[in-house]
């Protein structure tokens, strides 16, 4: 086995995103299709979630495969060769198996064979947590470039009989390459969580039946630094709260509107897709 020589990048003043990528499954499920199962109409779904359609992955479009496709696109858009990626972080809560980690396979398949790799699970806020970690890694010199991927196959975990989740969650992946910058391009970041709300969205005992208390979930977001969690809420209501609390209402509503209308809620990957769709 060939042992690679250890590399240490120089510490830098800042970090920024230099390339985005995304993958969306080809199968489109309209709000009319999901609404029929509950005796509702497409207009009823759209009025409450803003979602006209969502994407559903096929059996071949696994969490791994979608992550790889999005990662490759992000690399191509950044102009960074895969061999220069020092770390791969994959944010996901819907991986098909608990081990091995998704990130290791992504690193191998995209050509970043000597990169460090790990998965991160922080539910809907996962991509933002991963992006923050990536920025810190670049700034302190642990890696020159980091690939961050958010990938979800939420439809595999949703209970088709549950109105609250089956009309909202879809599948897909988003990715970003983070690299050095003379000026900080990511942050500042405020960490925070509220474990008292843990049961508001859950998958109990690996039954693959997701349950979400939608109204209560959105209602718990009431601080300016909680926009990350807010974007993970149910469709239009969550986006509106995030936009208003950041005082960027019109811009974020335009950026996220198309995403919510045609992708559905893809948990952590939504954040990266909002940026890609607004380029």
pLDDT at res. 127 = 94
User: For residue range 24-47, what is the model confidence (pLDDT) as tens digits?
Assistant: 999 999 999 999 999 999 999 988
Residue 1 lies in a domain: no
Residue 187 lies in a domain: no
Residue 236 lies in a domain: yes
Cis peptide before 100 (omega within 30 of 0): yes
pLDDT at res. 245 = 55
pLDDT at res. 97 = 87
Residue 250 lies in a domain: yes
pLDDT at res. 12 = 86
Residue 44 lies in a domain: yes
- Dihedral of CA atoms 76, 80, 83, 87 in degrees, nearest 10, equals -100
**Ranges of H-type helices in 125-248:** 126-140, 163-166, 214-219, 227-231, 236-245
**Ranges of H-type helices in the chain:** 31-36, 42-49, 63-78, 102-110, 126-140, 163-166, 214-219, 227-231, 236-245, 249-262, 269-277
pLDDT at res. 246 = 53
pLDDT at res. 272 = 52
Residue 4 lies in a domain: no
- Separation CA 93–CA 130 (nearest Å): 13
Closest CA to 70 of 215, 224, 175, 182: 175
Would you state the structure tokens that stand for residue 25, as one six-digit string? Answer: 């499954």
- Read off φ and ψ for residue 29, nearest 5 degrees: -115, 115
Residue 197 lies in a domain: no
Domain count, the chain: 1
CATH number at residue 101: 3.40.47.10
User: For residue range 113-132, what is the model confidence (pLDDT) as tens digits?
Assistant: 999 999 999 988 899 999 99
Residue pair 187/17 in contact by the 8 Å Cβ criterion: no
- Separation CA 85–CA 107 (nearest Å): 9
- Separation CA 195–CA 134 (nearest Å): 25
What is the span of the domain harbouring residue 64? Answer: 12-182+207-279
pLDDT at res. 6 = 60
- The residues pairing with 212 across neighbouring beta strands, listed in sequence order, are 201
User: For residue range 60-71, what is the model confidence (pLDDT) as tens digits?
Assistant: 999 999 999 999
User: For residue range 3-21, what is the model confidence (pLDDT) as tens digits?
Assistant: 556 666 788 889 999 999 9
Residue 239 lies in a domain: yes
pLDDT at res. 219 = 43
pLDDT along the chain (279 residues), means of 10: 62 92 95 93 90 94 97 98 98 91 97 97 91 96 97 91 88 97 89 86 75 58 36 50 54 50 58 48
- Read off φ and ψ for residue 134, nearest 5 degrees: -60, -45
What are the Cα distances from residue 73, in Å, to 14, 22, 23, 66, 107? 24, 7, 8, 11, 14
What are the Cα distances from residue 126, in Å, to 5, 9, 27, 28, 143? 31, 26, 25, 25, 20
């Amino acid at each position: 086995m060939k042992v690679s020589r250890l590399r240490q990048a120089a510490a830098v003043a800042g970090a920024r995103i230099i390339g985005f990528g995304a993958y969306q499954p080809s199968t489109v499920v309209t709000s009319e299709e999901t609404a029929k199962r509950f005796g509702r109409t497409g207009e009823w779904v759209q009025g409450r979630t803003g979602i006209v359609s969502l994407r559903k992955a096929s059996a071949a479009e696994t969490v791994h495969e979608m992550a790889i496709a999005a990662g490759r696109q992000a690399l191509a858009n950044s102009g960074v060769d895969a061999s220069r990626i020092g770390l791969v972080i994959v944010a996901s809560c819907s991986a098909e198996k608990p081990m091995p980690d998704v990130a290791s396979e992504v690193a191998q398949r995209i050509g970043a064979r000597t990169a460090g790799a790990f998965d991160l699970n922080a539910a809907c806020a996962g991509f933002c947590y991963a992006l923050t970690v990536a920025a810190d890694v670049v700034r302190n010199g642990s890696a020159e470039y980091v690939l961050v991927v958010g990938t979800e196959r939420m439809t595999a975990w949703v209970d088709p009989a549950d109105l609250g989740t089956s009309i909202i969650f879809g599948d897909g992946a988003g990715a970003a390459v983070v690299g050095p910058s003379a000026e900080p391009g990511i942050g500042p970041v405020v960490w925070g969580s509220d474990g008292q709300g843990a049961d508001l969205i859950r998958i109990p005992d690996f039954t693959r039946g997701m349950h979400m208390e939608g109204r209560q979930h959105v209602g718990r977001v009431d601080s300016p630094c909680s926009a990350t969690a807010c974007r993970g809420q149910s469709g239009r209501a969550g986006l509106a709260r995030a936009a208003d609390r950041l005082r960027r209402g019109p811009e974020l509503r335009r950026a996220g509107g198309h995403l919510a209308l045609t992708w559905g809620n893809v948990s952590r990957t939504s954040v990266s897709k909002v940026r890609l769709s607004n380029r």
